[in-house]
Structures are given as C-alpha cells and as structure tokens.
Structure 1
Amino acid sequence: MERSRIAVAGASGLIGSALVRSLAADGHEVVRLVRRAPRGPDEVHWDPGRQHVDVAGLAGCDVVVNLAGAGVGDRRWTPEYKRLLRDSRVLGTVTLAEAVASLPRPPRVFLNGSAIGFYGETGDRVVDEDAPPGDGFLAGLCVEWEEAAAPAQEAGVRTVFLRTGLVVARGGGAWGRLFPLFRAGLGGRLGDGRQYWSYIALHDEVAAIRHLMDAEATAGPVNLTAPQPLTNREITAAMARVLHRPAAFAVPAPVLRTALGEMAGDVLGSQRVVPKRLLESGFRFAFPGIDEAIRAA
C-alpha cells in the first residue's frame, strides 16, 4: 500500500495500538481519534457518546478504521455495562459513518469493528460469513454494530466488517488472562472443554486489517479467525505444551456461571468460525496454528 493518511478510532486498545505501531513503522500518516483535547496534528477529537467528531480532522484520510468499544470481558454484564457495551460501539459507528459520508472526498474504505459473536452458539457446526446472526446479547449487539455503518455504505464507501475472533496476545483480551494462569501452573480447560474457540494471532489480526485496506473487491463481513478453530480442550493442551506447564485445573461450568454471570455463556459457548472471505481475498496467515500463535504472543 502506498503511503496513506489513516484515521484510527480505538487506537489505545489491544488491536488498535498494534495496528497504529505497524502503520507508523511503514511510514503511513496515522491520525488517532481521542476523547480528550488533541495534543498534536496526529490527533482528532471525538465524543462518540454525544455523536460528535471533528470532521475537518478526517479530511484527506484514505482509510478510516473504527475499533472503538468498551471491553466485552472487562466487567460483569450488569444492565448498565451492557448499555455501555452497546452505546460505545453503535453510537461510535454511527458518528464515524456519518462523518465519512459527509466528507467532500470520502475515504476509499471504512473498516469497522465487529466480532464472531455475531453467529451466537454454533456448536460443532462450521460457519462462514454467509451464516445468519445467532441469538443472545452479543449476537444482537453485533447486528446493531454493523447496521450502524449504513451511512458510509449508502454514500458508496467500501465498508468492511471485521468479525474478529479471540485474539492470541500477551497484553489483553482472553489470552491476556490465560497466560499468567498457565505460567503459574494454574491453567486448565473451561467447562467440559469441548466448545470451539476461533482464535487469531495478534500479528495476523493486524496484517489482515492492513490487507483489507487494499482488497478492493472485498466488502461486507469478513471473519478474522485462523483457518482451523480448535476446542478449548485442544487449546488448553497447546498452552501447556508451549509454556511447559501442567494444565491440571479445570473450571466447572457452574463455577464460571456464578463468577461471570451472563458472560459465562460466551466463555462456555462454542463458535466454529472459518475465514472464508479473508482466504478468498488472497490473505496468507503467518501463524495459522495454535502453537505458532502462542509462541508469537
């Protein structure tokens, strides 16, 4: 990709910060959207809660990436936190999509965050981007999240929904919690361990987002997951193998439900998701296997 001006919302998060580092290292001009007062020309003020963004700051951007949203696993899902999870995604997406549509020269692509939670519980069934939405809070949230990008799509901007799986990374997300447990010898399967986890190495997540910036024939939902989802039991064994630690501790499903409440359904649920459209677009994974992904993290 030629040197471009790229706006990133959610630039301080796990994926956003890695994406910004990668883009800046290759000489791209990165503009970060911030909620505080901007401290330089590489920052643009926005307030997604009030549906405000400094549209002038987005002028000249070739790409807009929206990865903003409160962490799904950061807190127990109280009614108040579920409202925050929704508003931080839906209002932020509407704000950016309308800003993108209003620009005299819109960006050539709008990459909007989403998640494989869109599919709900899939059990052993393999699903790709053609599958319908599932049931439950996360599925409904993802549907609203993607629908909020309509203004950009209606303005003719190529819009891609980044349906991301579980990111294998040391610094955050599910694996950010798993690594310390396994290093301490306290790792183990969750529930019966038969639920499928669709994962992706952080390196491949960033590379896939960058690839989709230039994949001009690709629009709509794209699953960002490794080619072969594995069960929680298989991933637990891989963690023990790579980190040379035992994995003797299993957390029973009732304990998880007591500790996590409604969110336990996401941990115990099974999602066997494959990246059909990403592979069709010509993307090649650097760390497709779980052992490689864990070592990379």
Structure 2
Amino acid sequence: MSQNNCLLTGGSGFIGQALVPALLQRGMKITILSRSPKTTEGLFDGAVTAIADLKQLTSNDHFECVINLAGFGIADKRWSESVKQTIRDSRIETTAALIDYFKRAETKPDTFISGSAIGVYGLRDDQPLDETAGGDDSFSSQLCQEWESEAQQAEALGIRTSYLRTGVVLGKNGGALSKMLPPFKFGLGGPMGSGQQWMSWIHRDDIVGIILHVMDNKSIQGAVNGTAPTPVTNKAFSQALGKVLNRPAFLPLPSFVVKLLMGKMGEELLLSGQRVIPQKALQTQYAFRYPDLPSALKEIL
C-alpha cells in the first residue's frame, strides 16, 4: 500500500476509535485534528500525532489519504435553532478548512473520504435506496447535501473523493446501542411509533472495513452507503435486541411521546427511516463481517 500518511478528523469519536488501530496495524503514520491534542494522543498511547488547527500544517506536509469524520452528534440533543447551527458548523466548517488546506498543499492527497449520513435521503418509506437516490427538504437531508457539496470541491483539485453515508453504527461501549440498551435490559424496550420505519444499521467493524475498502479500491468514488446489506424495521430490530438480551421487547413508545420528548429530532431520526442498500460496497465485493443483525448483536452483547 502506498498510503503511508493519513490525516484524520473525528479520530476520538465512536468510529474513529476503531479506525485508528486498524490504520496503525497497516503501518500508517496518523495525524489527527483534535480540540484536545494531548488527550487524543493519550487515547492512542502516543501512537498518533494530534494537532489543534489545520493551519499548523505547511504546504509541504503530504497525506496520501484524508478521512473526515468530524461532527457534533446529530442525536445528542433536542434540535433547537442553536443546536442545529452547532451540528451544521461542526461539519461544514471542518470540511471547508480541509478544502483550504488541500488548495495550499503542494502535493494533493490521493484519496479524500468525507463523512456524510443516510439522512441525506430524507424521510422515506419502504423503497430500497442505493447511492443514486435523491434527498428532500428535511433538516438531516439538507445538512448532508450541504456537507457533501462542501467536500465535493476536492474533486476539482484532482483528488479522488468519496462521501461515506453512514447508517446507525452498532458497537461496544458507545454509539446508538448504548442509548437503547437500558430500557431493554429492564424488559421495558419495544418499537418506536408504528415500528414499521426502516433502520439501516451497520456493525462498527464493517464501517471501518468499508473505509479501508474505499482506500484500497481506486475505482470507488462519489457516494458510498455505509450500511449492512440487510436493513430491518424498527419493530424487527427491537425483537432481535430483546431476543439476544433474553428480555421481552413489546412495550411500544408511542409517536406522540417521542415527539414530546425529542421534538423534530425524534420525528426525523427515530420515527422516520430509510431502507438503504450498500450497492457500491456489494458491487466492489466488500465482504461484510456482520451482514445480518442477529450476528452483529451477538458479537456486541
């Protein structure tokens, strides 16, 4: 592999913490953009270099690969106007700063993998969605479209660019599952709203696997769905989780309660869904370690 130097944003996040060891295993030299450089370096036992600002990089610094995973958690807080602005700024401003760096770098990166999310497809019903599907005017769709549009400027600089449209990432010690587990462990879990909305999930090992797959396959560019090939309904997800935990999972959380507690965020992220198919990953022969939900949940729990 020629990709020896990697620049990473969002390295201390849920995906980043699994990605960094995988990159180190390949013998790569990693620089991480971080608000707390010393803490980030400590997180990986000093095996990475962390910087607080991209302006610390000179035009002579060269990275074969740049991976952009930075962003304030979209489901961390109820969406007030200020929270929505923070979510937007954390994505767009970091991406814009990377583009500025690319413009002044004497040697451009070979590969730019920029984060996005399946929220780009908007509030959808039952139709299967591959990378060619469009979006709508919901907040999450508009956010992702703007995020990808900012990253797209790298293409004009001759950099192979991919937009990683991540689904619900499942893994140990964090992510979406850590928020779902408490009620299920007490036998109080169940579907949200009708339970018929689709959940496009992926095991954390597979989202890392897809990132490495995109790095290695020079033919892959543009949108890439970071989801498992078997999306499930929210009701089926609840039943599978209850089964693995050996707990009942039939207590529904009514739509009006979700809307009352979480407002528009709950409406878009929990009561609506997307049935996403990872067409590009499948077409380019990515081998999923956890293609179905029961095997993924068993490994995690």
Task: Compute the TM-score of the two structures, normalised by the length of structure 2.
Answer: 0.92
Residue of structure 1 equivalent to 2:132: 130
Aligned residue for 2:22? 22
- Contact 1:125 1:272 survives alignment (8 Å): yes
How far did 1:3 drift?
A: 6.2
Q: Matched residue of 1:97: which SS?
A: helix
Distance 2:297 2:65 in 1: 30
1:139 Cα shift?
0.3
1:110 aligns with: 112
One-letter amino acid of the counterpart of residue 8, structure 1: L
For residue 295 of structure 1, what is the amino acid of its counterpart? K
Q: Which residue in the other structure is 2:10 paired with?
A: 10
> For 1:263-278, what aligned pairs fall within 5 Å after superposition?
263-265=265-267, 266-278=269-281
Q: Does 1:45 align with 2:51?
A: yes
SS at match of 2:112: strand
> CA offset at residue 187 of structure 1?
1.4
Q: Secondary structure at the match of 1:106?
A: coil
**Shift, 1:171, TM fit:** 2.4
Query: How far did 1:58 drift?
Result: 8.1
**8 Å contact kept, 1:7–1:58:** no
Matching residue of 1:159: 161
Aligned residues: 293
- Among residues 243, 255, 267, which one is paired with 1:241 in the alignment? 243
Counterpart CA distance in 1 for 2:66 and 2:254 is 42
Is the 8 Å Cα contact of residues 169 and 201 (structure 2) preserved in structure 1?
yes
Please say if 1:148 is aligned against 2:150: yes
Map 1:176-255; keep pairs closer than 5 Å: 176-255=178-257
**Unaligned segments of structure 2, at least 5 residues:** none
Give the match's secondary structure for 1:268: coil
1:235 is aligned with what amino acid? F
**Alpha-carbon offset, residue 234 of structure 1:** 0.6
For residues 176 and 25 of structure 1, the distance between their equivalents in structure 2, rounded to whole angstroms, comes to: 27
SS of corresponding position for 2:7: strand
Q: Which runs of 5+ in 1 are unaligned?
A: none
Identify if the C-alpha distance between structure 1 residues 58 and 185 changes in structure 2 by more than 3 Å, giving closer, same or farther.
farther
Cα shift at 1:270? 1.9
Call closer, same or farther: CA 1:57–1:167 in 2, change over 3 Å: farther
What letter matches 1:116 in structure 2? I
Determine the C-alpha separation between the residues in 2 that align with 1:3 and 1:153: 19
CA contact under 8 A between 1:33 and 1:44: conserved in structure 2?
yes
Q: Deviations over 1:18-50 (max 9, x none)?
A: 101221233221211122456779434344xxx
Aligned residue runs from structure 1 range 164-175, under 5 A: 164-175=166-177
Contact 1:53 1:96 in 2 (8 A): no
1:282 matches 2:285: yes
Q: Quick one: distance in 2 between partners of 1:98 and 1:43?
A: 21
Moved more, 165-174 or 129-138: 165-174
* Aligned equivalents of 1:211, 1:59: Cα separation in 2: 25
Q: Secondary structure at the match of 1:148?
A: helix
Kindly provide the CA deviation profile for residues 183-231 of structure 1, in whole angstroms up to 9, marking residues without a partner as x.
2222111111000000000010101111111110111100011112110
Q: Which secondary structure does the structure 1 equivalent of 2:23 belong to?
A: helix
TM-score of the pair, normalised by structure 1: 0.93
What is the deviation of 1:172? Answer: 2.4
